[in-house]
Structure 1
């Protein structure tokens, strides 16, 4: 054990997620502890895909708990919530949860006594900070107005100004083409009408007028200040039967023409009115966002795009700056790895997931990593995801193991019934320079029955400097007679009960993005870990 690890073990590291000392039980009946309001809100928020059922909790109950906790936190410490909500969007990359949190912050703030409200950060600043993509002002407005009578379709002052700030910053020609879908409950034109944003330039004044006309009259005028909208109108004027031939006739100029008209791959498929072939994909790949490219690796293979086009995508996956700018969850690269049928994407996706996990600390000394692969971890992350919590846990746990100076990594669960349950675990070798995605593919399976976290720890711990447990925390057993070293829980589910009481050397971090590793790294280099915002 190195000097740093020895010193940490003696003093005891602490983290910001605290428990109250009040005993409860996990969903499996094991020992549990209630978290304080901030701790419960944080662990829920960084894992909460809004309106999604989980193994132990219905989506509606989970969302109600999220809102209730946020109101409690505003009443306790509005300044903390005001810092947390924008970080939830920027740092944890939780898009819908941050939209809901911003709206509920505004409502909870309005319910505070006048003196507390005056001392708190404004709803305007929190809302503007939480809305980071051009469709999010509309999502915010839809959530705010949900269930209200038509006569109350208005936004109060601070809310209106926060949405207006976001609209001025985010509404562009490209945003209008991508996000102003006619099927949306709240269109971009509705946001302009309700929030009354101030145009930042003459072109945006024309754009706001265009969006209003499109919303109310079905069409808008693309002035000379709106060249992308004009170029799109010219494309739409091409008769449908001639569009495929027109695309081919453009030859090497096709990517430029599509980019100037703000054509996404979805728009191109609609414009062509049929399946996308290699010519179509080759024309749109240069202007595709990285997330769109990753989602379509299988489609590129099926269409038979040549290696030159594939190399363009591979180069972007290998570019750390582009991967980080895309703000994609590491899990998206795992999903693409599972879906893409050809070997040509394996290495680029491995590079991309490495870039997206840049905050994984290189832990010194010996580290014990336990990755929960019990039955509850078989639950999918969302209704639209093909990934499970078991795969998420394996991705995060194995990433720690690969980066650590020396790591013993186990996947674990239990055999038998409730009364005669016995621990079951397998060691996973972490070859230096090994493929994280292949390790997850091979070992990220929720096939180990029940959850005996603490029994497994006692059987696998042999003088390690620290223990990292990646789990949903719903254990059957109790944390008795544990070693006096840092035990860091990486939570990937956000359920109510903590599986161990927060104390020196008993710390919880987590989430579904790379953000949890920032906290883990801080804990291992400082005596006291704080909030990541």
Structure 2
């Protein structure tokens, strides 16, 4: 064997990514975890939602360890807040696993809300029709039997193709008084914010009366804490406009650590709320920014503070526009604030360092970092070509679709290490789940996801490079 040829082959990677560039494939388990923690089954820059769903099905079928697949789905739904992709995996497992002793417990474990039952069941029926496997019936039925009247009323979905009543008829869950009331039609309407606001609009005889009733409805919802945390985020602008007397109480809910932890709200949702509030130009809108920043900091409280110097390299190329750039900028900001010896870089065709004032709020830093994203191509080589300092670790936040430079950046990285005399840890943070890496998996710590759980895992990765997979494997079925 000619070893120069071998080196050339390594630099070229062992696969081609969706952008047409050299890349490295992931192990099936790592790719499954990556896609489960990033995919919302909507269209992405390089892949349609249907293609993503097809890839999920392929990975579920190809992974021999179906118990690991089940644990990954539970992790994605209950710890990382990912919904649609966990529903798809649950439906696929119902088709592909027969007779395993853990299946009933899996379906009970992957259900977080009553509508999870509806979505998993609808997904299975749409793909495979009836009969419904016994494990799916028993597991989803057991989950339904544990919900209370309010939860069942909130998610009864009377106008949907598959209603909660239909699910009870199909699954035959264990009897419970809330389910009996559901089937008799005796459940009182859930006092959701949608219901309250709709009733207020219907009862008012003129615009002034409607405004008063809506203001009172918001006041009642917030005072009784019957407004869900995600609904609170979505309606901050409405509360500012329609019930300004409730702003202080609403912001107290916003920064409540217990509500934040229970909500499973993904961190980028705070950016959406911020944009809606700031565009309103309403009185007291400026009061919301500090509260939103405090809520973000609490939702990402497990960001590790590393010793030594850290380089945070954010992909600012065109394919990152939208959610990947939003979450990447946010993660870069919180990492920079948590680590005094951190430097932030944004790369695309080339790479530039971003000067930050760490006394600014998290969300202000996030927007400043995102502002430096130029679009254009994806050149991973630029990270190491523009870096002259020796770092202890390098965190790369990207969709991993590098294509510039004709080769994967392994040689450029090796040259950087030789030039600076350092041997940094590399965290490869996948923000899209497309399934490829820019470094061989054995040389990097692979991370994925949009939640704070990824930061918890970073604490252990320098000791155990497969910490994320091991954390999922530790879930009990």
* TM category, shorter: 0.7 to 0.9
Q: Does 1:91 align with 2:85?
A: no
The aligned counterpart of 2:399 is: 472
Q: Does 1:181 align with 2:166?
A: no
The aligned counterpart of 1:251 is: none
The aligned counterpart of 1:138 is: 118
Q: Structure 1 residue 163: deviation in Å? A: 0.7
Pairs aligned (count) = 431
In 1, Cα distance between the equivalents of 2:379 and 2:461? 26
User: What residue ranges of structure 1 are gaps of 5+ in the alignment?
Assistant: 1-18, 111-116, 214-219, 223-228, 233-261, 381-387, 415-422
Give CA-to-partner distance per residue, 1:219-265, whole Å, 9 cap, x none: x235xxxxxx2xx5xxxxxxxxxxxxxxxxxxxxxxxxxxxxx4111
Q: Does 1:303 align with 2:242?
A: yes
Match of 2:179 among 199, 208, 215: 208
Give CA-to-partner distance per residue, 1:132-180, whole Å, 9 cap, x none: 111111111111111556xx3x42211110111110122x211232111
Q: Structure 1 residue 289: deviation in Å? A: 1.5
Q: Is the contact between residue 398 and residue 431 of structure 2 (CA under 8 Å) also seen in structure 1?
A: yes
Q: Which secondary structure state, in structure 2, belongs to the residue aligned with residue 469 of structure 1?
A: strand
In 1, Cα distance between the equivalents of 2:297 and 2:429? 19
Q: Structure 1 residue 519: deviation in Å? A: 2.0
What's the C-alpha RMSD, in Å, of the aligned pairs? Answer: 2.1
Q: Is the contact between residue 89 and residue 95 of structure 1 (CA under 8 Å) also seen in structure 2?
A: yes
Q: Does 1:221 align with 2:186?
A: yes
Q: Is the contact between residue 193 and residue 212 of structure 1 (CA under 8 Å) also seen in structure 2?
A: no
The aligned counterpart of 2:447 is: 509
The aligned counterpart of 2:458 is: 520
The aligned counterpart of 1:315 is: 252
Match of 2:302 among 349, 352, 359: 359
The aligned counterpart of 1:384 is: none
Match of 1:44 among 31, 35, 40: 35
In 2, Cα distance between the equivalents of 1:317 and 1:524? 34
Q: Does 1:194 align with 2:170?
A: yes
The aligned counterpart of 2:356 is: 429
Seen in structure 2, the aligned counterparts of structure 1 residues 289 and 496 have a Cα distance that, compared at 3 Å, is same
The aligned counterpart of 1:444 is: 370
Q: Does 1:160 align with 2:145?
A: no
In 1, Cα distance between the equivalents of 2:161 and 2:120? 11
Q: Is the contact between residue 161 and residue 195 of structure 1 (CA under 8 Å) also seen in structure 2?
A: yes
* 1:456-495 superposed matches below 5 A: 456-476=383-403, 477=405, 478-479=408-409, 480-482=411-413, 483=417, 484-495=423-434
Seen in structure 2, the aligned counterparts of structure 1 residues 147 and 471 have a Cα distance that, compared at 3 Å, is closer
Q: Is the contact between residue 43 and residue 509 of structure 1 (CA under 8 Å) also seen in structure 2?
A: yes
Q: Is the contact between residue 367 and residue 406 of structure 1 (CA under 8 Å) also seen in structure 2?
A: yes
In 2, Cα distance between the equivalents of 1:424 and 1:363? 24
Q: Structure 1 residue 273: deviation in Å? A: 3.1
Q: Which secondary structure state, in structure 2, belongs to the residue aligned with residue 391 of structure 1?
A: helix
Match of 2:201 among 273, 285, 309: 273
The aligned counterpart of 1:336 is: 273
Q: Is the contact between residue 145 and residue 179 of structure 2 (CA under 8 Å) also seen in structure 1?
A: no
Q: Is the contact between residue 281 and residue 305 of structure 1 (CA under 8 Å) also seen in structure 2?
A: no
Q: Which secondary structure state, in structure 2, belongs to the residue aligned with residue 288 of structure 1?
A: coil
The aligned counterpart of 1:126 is: 106
In 2, Cα distance between the equivalents of 1:450 and 1:197? 53
